[in-house]
Amino acid sequence: MSFTTGKFSAACLQMRSTRSVERNIADFTSLAREAISKGATFLQSPEMSNLVERSRADLFAKISTEEADPFLAAARKLAAEAKVTIHLGSLAIREGEKIANRAFLIGPDGGLVARYDKLHLFDVDLPNGETWRESATYTAGACAVVAPVEGAKLGLGICYDLRFPYLFRALAEAGADILTAPACFTKQTGEAHWVVLQRARAIETGSFMISAAQGGTHEDGRETFGHSIIVDPWGRVLAEADDQPGVILAEIDLAKVADARGRIPTLKHTRAITVATVGEGAREAAE
């Protein structure tokens, strides 16, 4: 794959991952081949592509170490065969007594270009009674990652990371011109915040946002929002899915990054901030 012209076709593969790794591999492969047939040279899958499983015991029983993971192996084989780049939004990977929520960037030769473990874990209590404690099962990542993608630099994020703008600014300041937040966003929070957060991260940094998502009601009972999305550096939505499995595509024109950052150079205007906290007792007496 070559991006010598500064343009390429990107695809988000929207999935509804099941409790079967084998079925999810088949669904991913089908969507990937559809995207490739439509001209995509960069493909991204959602968070937890290999398994969506609420039961902690069943999750551990079904997943593998990175070296033995069949989903990763299938994606590497497909990337090499089709000569495309594949960004697995994340896989559940066994790491001792916990699980890594790990993204993989696979080059067009099938080699591993980069790995990224989700930094921010989703420990929340939602108004509808939903409770999530990712820290009980998953181990958080240690650092942010920027990786080369044939003429571009890709900043890696996963799902809940989207709510932490300092991460995406740091990625952009480190050279990323494409940012990502593939997700398994809940329906409740997605309806309220997904699109506006995607557009905000793009606008704040003058970057493309490419975020594939899980969508619909899953076998384990959870509901995810879907709406995989590709946003340009000016905040325009180039493509957006509904909540059904499928493929969306958009042209990534890297010249738009320079254009947006040239118009509003916020990355150049960053200042160190000192916060003064003023209490009631600090009020000056009136003369």
259: left (phi over 0), alpha (psi -120 to 50) or beta: alpha
Q: Which of 75-79, 126-130, 169-173, 204-208 has the lowest mean pLDDT?
A: 126-130
What residues are annotated to the active site? 47, 118, 159
pLDDT of 2 > 90? The answer is: no
Indicate the pLDDT class of residue 105, thresholds 50, 70 and 90: very high
Q: Are 119 and 163 in contact (CB under 8 A)?
A: no
Report the mean per-residue pLDDT for the chain. Answer: 93
Indicate the pLDDT class of residue 122, thresholds 50, 70 and 90: confident
pLDDT of 123 > 80? The answer is: no
> Which pLDDT score, from 0 to 100, does residue 1 have?
37
Q: What average pLDDT does the segment 182-210 reach?
A: 97
d(C-alpha 238, C-alpha 243), whole Å: 17
262: left (phi over 0), alpha (psi -120 to 50) or beta: alpha
> Which pLDDT score, from 0 to 100, does residue 133 have?
72
Q: What torsion do the CA atoms of 174, 179, 183, 189 make, to the nearest 10 degrees? A: 100
Task: Give whole-number Cα distances, 186 to 30, 132, 157, 220, in Å.
Answer: 25, 10, 17, 13
Q: What are phi and psi of 61, to 5 degrees?
A: -70, -25
pLDDT of 40 > 60? The answer is: yes
The residue among 45, 32, 91, 42 whose CA lies nearest residue 67 is: 91
The larger pLDDT score, comparing residue 221 to residue 227, is at 227
* CATH code 3.60.110.10 for 7-267: yes
Question: Three-state SS for 60?
Answer: helix
Indicate the pLDDT class of residue 264, thresholds 50, 70 and 90: very high
d(C-alpha 4, C-alpha 239), whole Å: 23
Q: What torsion do the CA atoms of 141, 143, 147, 153 make, to the nearest 10 degrees? A: 120
Q: Which of 24-28, 32-36, 58-62, 281-285 has the lowest mean pLDDT?
A: 281-285
Q: What average pLDDT does the segment 148-168 reach?
A: 95
pLDDT of 124 > 90? The answer is: no
